[in-house]
Amino acid sequence: MRLLIFVLLIFGLLPAAAHAQADCGIVNAVDFPVDRSLFQLMQDYAAPSPRHQGRWHTGEDYSAGPGLTLGQPVRAIAVGRVTYASPIGWGRDGGVVIIEHTLPDGSIVYSQYGHMMETDSIRFPGVLACVNAGQVIGAVGDIRPAPHLHFEIRVNQPDTPGPGYTPDVPDTLGWRTPSAFVLNWRVWLGELHRWHVSLPAPLTTAPLIYPDGSVLIASSDNRVRYALPDGRILWRVILDAEPTLLSWSDAGPVVTMADGAAWTLGADGAVIDRRSGAAAANVSVGEGALLLAADGSRYLLTPGNPALLSKGPADAEPLWRVGLPGVRGAVNLSADPTGRALIVSAASGQVLVIRAETGEVCGQMLFYGNGRGLVWHELGADGTLRVALGDQVTGMDWARLTAGCGL
Ligand SMILES: [Zn+2]
């Protein structure tokens, strides 16, 4: 029977690939391939490796520590179709499984799991098989220099185990940051998500929100893009230099660039006015933030060892102090219109809602953030909390995010 199927496949009589893909379903949940309470990130994506002549790492390496990693189960990050599976895919460096995933927007990505082995109870899935999110697809293998999982996300090479390291920046060759994919899609597939825009380059300044909820976004690839309220990009403008500020004028939105030039844009993205100018001074993003609330309360977000302090109306002892574990880099601090909730967003990925009265964290989301670059948020009158972080902007349902806050 197996031989018959093989022969039918060879002669194209079974349209297996196309149908199997449709049958395997659309991604509706995503998670890490290993238990993040046990496994630590040991080598980051795009890190240059001294062991490999300074070439760039195409994935993220995870280990649970000596003696605890070997044989641990590895799970499919999402529903998908297996496009490659071999216990000797990397020779002495272990087995490889590659899974194809179809995202809700129709795009395709591949997750690769390397340095794996089979055990008596854990077998690799077959090529063309459908796998479910969280299904065990292998075990961490016994490889040099110590057992670990190599986890990749990429947009090409469905049936070739990747090289592990590349001579060029992996993003330019089709690889993506694995934890950014997992963390951001976890938010985008969740019930708080209203819309999002994913960009090929990091944002350089706060987006401009139009009255109808559409958004103008500036990024370091010298582009501004106009996104409709549902996140679809309608038009983009190619600039001469990096955009540093978006602002409104009577004539329309104005893009100011690093070389000092300022372009006014029409409703369709046409440049209706160009002014050159002196280069603007660099604006440095502070690490701390001070918020003066309407009732005179002062809230201070301290850098270094991040913590949010409430000082109350008078310059008295703090009424409360809440630690912000994991928060790094630039932060934003604002209050909701009632003044009863504080909103913190951080370049390290956290979005926190804190009860102003007590300091209790009552709502939170986690995006991918490496602690560098811009972070921005704004709570709109339409009940959407918009957050710009890294190379994406997401609109979230404020009422759902703060369901536990008793506002
Ligand atoms: Zn690796």
pLDDT, average across residues 166-174:
92
Whether residue 237 is found in the same domain as residue 308: no
pLDDT 10s digits, 214-225: 999 999 999 999
**Residue where a domain terminates, one of 185, 218, 240:** 185
Residue 59 CA to ligand 1 centre (angstroms)? 5
Q: What is the pLDDT of residue 10?
A: 42
Q: What's the chain's average pLDDT?
A: 88
Q: What is the pLDDT of residue 81?
A: 97
Residue 139 CA to ligand 1 centre (angstroms)? 15
Whether residue 107 is found in the same domain as residue 37: yes
- 198 inside domain: no
Residue 42 CA to ligand 1 centre (angstroms)? 9
pLDDT band for position 17 (cuts 50, 70, 90): very low
Q: Which amino acid is at 127?
A: V
Q: What is the pLDDT of residue 295?
A: 76
The Cα–Cα gap between 362 and 353 comes to 6
Residue 164 CA to ligand 1 centre (angstroms)? 6
Residue 62 CA to ligand 1 centre (angstroms)? 8
Could you list the residue range(s) of the whole structural domain that residue 118 is in?
A: 15-185
Residue 387 CA to ligand 1 centre (angstroms)? 31
Residue 88 CA to ligand 1 centre (angstroms)? 16
Least confident of 52-56, 199-203, 322-326: 52-56
**Residue where a domain terminates, one of 249, 275, 301:** 275
DSSP-assigned letters across all residues of 60-128 = EEEE--TTTSTT-EEE-SSSEEEEEEETTTTGGG-EEEEEEEE-TTS-EEEEEEEEEE--SS--PPPTT
- 139 inside domain: yes
Residue 49 CA to ligand 1 centre (angstroms)? 10
Give residue for tokens 């009732």: 295
Residue 193 CA to ligand 1 centre (angstroms)? 32
Residue 57 CA to ligand 1 centre (angstroms)? 6
- 191 inside domain: no
Cis-peptide, bond into residue 145, ω within 30° of zero: yes
Residue 188 CA to ligand 1 centre (angstroms)? 27
pLDDT 10s digits, 228-275: 988 899 999 999 999 999 999 889 999 999 888 899 999 899 999 998
pLDDT 10s digits, 55-114: 999 999 999 999 999 999 999 999 999 999 999 999 999 999 999 999 998 999 999 999
Residue 368 CA to ligand 1 centre (angstroms)? 19
The number of folded domains in the chain is 3
Residue 211 CA to ligand 1 centre (angstroms)? 46
Whether residue 293 is found in the same domain as residue 264: no
pLDDT 10s digits, 266-288: 989 999 999 886 544 333 334 46
- 51 inside domain: yes
pLDDT band for position 48 (cuts 50, 70, 90): confident
Give the CATH number for residue 224. 2.40.10.480
Q: What is the pLDDT of residue 4?
A: 42
Report CA torsion sign: 316, 320, 325, 326: negative
pLDDT 10s digits, 109-145: 999 999 999 999 999 999 999 999 999 999 999 998 8
Cα–Cα nearest to 79, from 58, 60, 104 = 104
pLDDT, average across residues 339-367:
94
The Cα–Cα gap between 251 and 26 comes to 44
Residue 39 CA to ligand 1 centre (angstroms)? 14
- 195 inside domain: no
pLDDT 10s digits, 357-371: 899 999 999 999 988
Percentage of residues of the chain with pLDDT beyond 70: 91
**Residue where a domain terminates, one of 185, 213, 235:** 185
Give the CATH number for residue 147. 2.70.70.10
Residue 75 CA to ligand 1 centre (angstroms)? 17
pLDDT 10s digits, 24-39: 999 999 999 999 999 9
**Dihedral angle at the C-alpha atoms of 168, 173, 179, 180, nearest 10 degrees?**
110
Give the CATH number for residue 384. 2.40.128.630
- 245 inside domain: yes
Percentage of residues of the chain with pLDDT beyond 90: 66
